[in-house]
Amino acid sequence: MPGKVYLIGAGPGDPGLLTLKGRAILEHADCVIYDFLAAAELLRFCQPSAEKIFAGKRGGGPRRPQDEITALLISKAREGKIVGRLKGGDPFVFGRGGEEALALVNAGIPFEVVPGVTSGIAAPAYAGIPVTHREIASSVSFVAAHDDSPPDLAALGQGTLVFFMGTRNLALIASSLIAQGRSRQEPAAVIHWGTRPGQQVVVGTLEDIAARAAGLTPPTVIIVGEVVKLREQLNWFERLPLFGKRIVITRTLEQAGVLRDALAVLGAEGIEIPTIEIREPASWAPLDRAIGKLGEFQYLLVTSANGVRNFLARLAIAGRDVRNLKGLTIGAIGPATASEFRKSGITVDFVPKDYRAEGLLDALAGRDLRGKSFLIPRAKVARDLVPRALEERGARVEVIEAYETVVPELPPGELELLMNPLPDAITFTSSSTALNLARLFPDRTLSQVLYGVTVASIGPITSDTVRKLGLEVTVEAAESTIPGLVKTLVEFFQRRGR
């Protein structure tokens, strides 16, 4: 029995513009065939087991033939697979989605179309140019300009003109419009990689836009019309505090999203280089034994969200729940760790003002700990400051391995690809992220790899580790949290004048 093909509009580049339906299909697809113009970040929504096939369609560059792509859709569907065909923009707006749909009909393959945000509207919007505006432009025409045929102005009208795939023919487009009666001084704009942090916009007139935009390469969208003048007032995207900044995130793939999304809201591109992979401990037996005797403990201290997740997971496997934590005083090292407890309806008793080991000790400073028992589920390798200090105060401490952090294996060449061009900044959210990054570059020091890159640390302990690796810490978060790190980065680049 054949599977089904979904023609999904990926939007123009900003991953946030993918529709909810598009995301839901990606999450369930067995095979995803994606274009160059579809943001690679969208592939993170796919199942780990999903087959991912690059269709290689890029304007002005090498491309997989359309008939080959169509044949691939049909063959994968005939294998009984759910196929997500991820196309830049909208499938039915110069996306050859109609051709693919007709081929599927002829082959007897069921399909659906999931519309996407077309770059013809989104790219101008991110450039501060509304394609229609009352009393300026009441109509808009979308034109495919990839061939050498001059546009027919009589058929297009006098409203806003939006040209797709016209980079190579920009001079022809401009001269043809002038020859057909449009003013030489009519405003025009060319937008490269619209909606992405690397967005570039060149503004001019029909007379000079080809010369002004000569350095731009595909993909571009070309806008002609009086609405272009509104960009000076409505240019919101490029005024975001971190617009255009490429910032490396060294957290685990599972945890990178919070920082990536926070940076994206501010206009930055988050480059994910996971230097940590979280693995289960070699044996769950020690943690399971500790959970079996929870009644013997008075305190539960957790120093990471990973520790919380694994502790609560093993609690459930043991047939226990939050009721078994009654009587325990629970301490979390910071807001993120406390938030992980709250997801299960557990309220922590204290979070230190200083979100590090020293802060936990300060929070316990006024308590008599003699004879008290502490359970600390944590990473295999971690600082021993807290257990040692508690034992010195007469407490009994049981440190249990709840997870292990290791250096992930990256595909050959991926690290070099992600670091090119050199990022504007790199973030370290723990000592492990810095130490493991150094291990990923065995032949070079980090000072060589990151020469000229702004180094941002989440707090003093991480900063100490970074300095020991030979790097200068450019900025350190005043509050050791992800929001605190982002705020510090914004303040730094604003001081520097971006």
Catalytic machinery residues: 35, 57
Burial 180-193 (b: 16+ CB within 10 A, else e): eebeeebbbbbbbb
290 Cβ contact partners less than 8 Å away, ≥ 6 residues apart:
297, 375, 377, 398, 400
Radius of gyration over alpha carbons of the chain, in Å? 28
Q: Which residue has the tokens 């009654």?
A: 326
Q: Tell me the backbone φ, ψ of residue 111, rounded to 5 degrees.
A: -150, 160
Nearest to 432 by CA among 374, 378, 483: 378
Rounded Cα gap, residues 418 and 433, in angstroms: 16
CA angle (219 as vertex; 9, 154 as ends), nearest 5: 85
Rounded Cα gap, residues 141 and 328, in angstroms: 67
Rounded Cα gap, residues 411 and 357, in angstroms: 35
Q: Rounded to whole angstroms, what are the CA distances from 119 to 222, 236, 261?
A: 10, 17, 21
Phi/psi zone of residue 176: left (φ > 0), alpha (ψ -120 to 50 degrees), beta?
Answer: alpha
71 Cβ contact partners less than 8 Å away, ≥ 6 residues apart:
none
Provide the 3-class DSSP secondary structure of residue 434: helix
Number of neighbours of residue 289 by Cβ within 10 angstroms: 11
Give yes or no for a contact between 80 and 31, defined as CB atoms under 8 angstroms apart.
no
Can you give 130-154 as a three-state secondary structure string? Answer: CCCECCCECCEEEEECCCCCCCCHH
Rounded Cα gap, residues 66 and 59, in angstroms: 13
278 Cβ contact partners less than 8 Å away, ≥ 6 residues apart:
252, 254, 306, 403, 404, 405
Structure tokens at 446: 């980090």
Rounded Cα gap, residues 8 and 332, in angstroms: 43
Give yes or no for a contact between 162 and 142, defined as CB atoms under 8 angstroms apart.
yes
Q: Is 219 exposed, middle or buried (0-12, 13-18, 19+ CB in 10 A)?
A: buried
Rounded Cα gap, residues 432 and 425, in angstroms: 18
